[in-house]
Structure 1
Amino acid sequence: MSSDKKLNVLMCGTGEYTTGWTPSGASKSDKKIGVVGLTLFDLRRLGKVEKLSMVGVNGSKFPAIREHLNANIAQVYKDIDTSFEGFPEEGKVDPEAYKTAIDKLSAGDAVIIFTPDNTHYDIAKYAIERGLHVLVTKPAVQFLKHHLELVQLAAKHKVVCFVEHHKRFDPVYGDAKVRAQTLGECNFFSAWMSQPKSQLETFRAWAGKDSDISYYLSSHHIDIHCWIMQGRAVPTRVVASAATGIATGEPYNCVPQTEDTITLLVDWQSLASSRHRSTAVYTASWTAPMNSGVHSAQHWYYMAEKGEINVDQAHRGYDIVNDATGKSYYNPFYMKYTPSESGHFDGQRGYGYVSIEKFVDAARSVNAGTTTAADFDAHGLPTIANTVLTTAILHAGRLSLDEKRPVYIKQQGDEWVLE
Structure 2
Amino acid sequence: MAPLNVLMVGTGEYTTGFVGGGMSGSDKKVGVVGLTLFDLRRRGKVGKLSMVGTSGNKFPAIRDHLHKNITQAYNGLDTSFDSFPADDKRDADAYKTAIDALSPGDAITIFTPDTTHYPIALYAIERKIHVLVTKPAVQLLEHHQKLQDAARKNGVFVFVEHHKRFDPAYADARFRAQKLGDFNYFYSYMSQPKSQLETFKAWAGKDSDISYYLNSHHIDINESMVPDFKPVRVTASGSKGIATDLGCVDKTEDTITLLVDWVKKTDPSKRATGVYTASWTAPQKAGVHSNQYFHYMAAKGEVRVNQAKRGYDVTEDEAGLVWFNPFYMKYAPDDEGNFNGQTGYGYISFEKFVDAVTALKEGRVTLDDLDKRGLPTLKNTIATGAILEAGRRSLDEQRPIDIVEENDVWSLK
TM-score by length of 2: 0.99
Q: 1:395 — aligned with what?
A: 389
User: How many angstroms apart in 1 are the aligned matches of 2:266 and 2:310?
Assistant: 35
Q: 1:357 — aligned with what?
A: 351
> Which runs of 5 or more structure 2 residues have no equivalent in the other structure?
none
Deviations 1:11-66 (A, max 9, x none): 00000000000125210111000000000000110011111000001001001100
User: How many angstroms apart in 2 are the aligned matches of 1:190 and 1:123?
Assistant: 33
User: How many angstroms apart in 2 are the aligned matches of 1:94 and 1:412?
Assistant: 42
Say if 1:58 and 1:94, in contact at 8 Å, map to a contact too.
Answer: yes
User: How many angstroms apart in 1 are the aligned matches of 2:283 and 2:8?
Assistant: 32
Q: CA RMSD in A?
A: 0.9
Q: 2:164 — aligned with what?
A: 167
Q: 2:361 — aligned with what?
A: 367
User: How many angstroms apart in 1 are the aligned matches of 2:256 and 2:236?
Assistant: 7
Deviations 1:369-411 (A, max 9, x none): 2222332000010011111110000000000000011000011
More displaced stretch, 11-20 vs 176-185? 176-185
C-alpha deviation, 1:318, in angstroms: 1.4
Say if 1:315 and 1:329, in contact at 8 Å, map to a contact too.
Answer: yes
Q: Alignment identity in percent? A: 62
Indicate yes or no: 2:56 matched with 1:59: yes
User: How many angstroms apart in 2 are the aligned matches of 1:226 and 1:341?
Assistant: 40
Indicate yes or no: 2:242 matched with 1:246: yes
C-alpha deviation, 1:215, in angstroms: 0.2
User: How many angstroms apart in 1 are the aligned matches of 2:266 and 2:181?
Assistant: 11
| 1:270 maps to amino acid | K
- Note the 1:97-246 alignment, pairs <5 A: 97-230=94-227, 232-246=228-242
Partner SS for 2:334: coil
Indicate yes or no: 2:319 matched with 1:325: yes
C-alpha deviation, 1:257, in angstroms: 1.1
User: How many angstroms apart in 2 are the aligned matches of 1:24 and 1:198?
Assistant: 16
Say if 2:138 and 2:385, in contact at 8 Å, map to a contact too.
Answer: yes
C-alpha deviation, 1:89, in angstroms: 0.6
Say if 1:45 and 1:79, in contact at 8 Å, map to a contact too.
Answer: no
Indicate yes or no: 2:84 matched with 1:87: yes
Deviations 1:178-220 (A, max 9, x none): 1111111121100000000000000001101110000011000
Say if 1:186 and 1:303, in contact at 8 Å, map to a contact too.
Answer: yes
Deviations 1:298-323 (A, max 9, x none): 00001111111111011111112222
Partner SS for 1:275: strand
> Which runs of 5 or more structure 1 residues have no equivalent in the other structure?
none
| 2:286 maps to amino acid | S
Indicate yes or no: 2:40 matched with 1:46: no
User: How many angstroms apart in 2 are the aligned matches of 1:107 and 1:71?
Assistant: 34
Indicate yes or no: 2:287 matched with 1:290: no
More displaced stretch, 273-282 vs 348-357? 273-282
Say if 1:24 and 1:202, in contact at 8 Å, map to a contact too.
Answer: no
User: How many angstroms apart in 1 are the aligned matches of 2:203 and 2:296?
Assistant: 33
C-alpha deviation, 1:261, in angstroms: 0.5
User: How many angstroms apart in 1 are the aligned matches of 2:240 and 2:318?
Assistant: 33
Indicate yes or no: 2:337 matched with 1:340: no
Q: 2:412 — aligned with what?
A: 418
Say if 2:21 and 2:61, in contact at 8 Å, map to a contact too.
Answer: no
C-alpha deviation, 1:271, in angstroms: 2.3
User: How many angstroms apart in 2 are the aligned matches of 1:341 and 1:106?
Assistant: 38
Partner SS for 2:337: coil
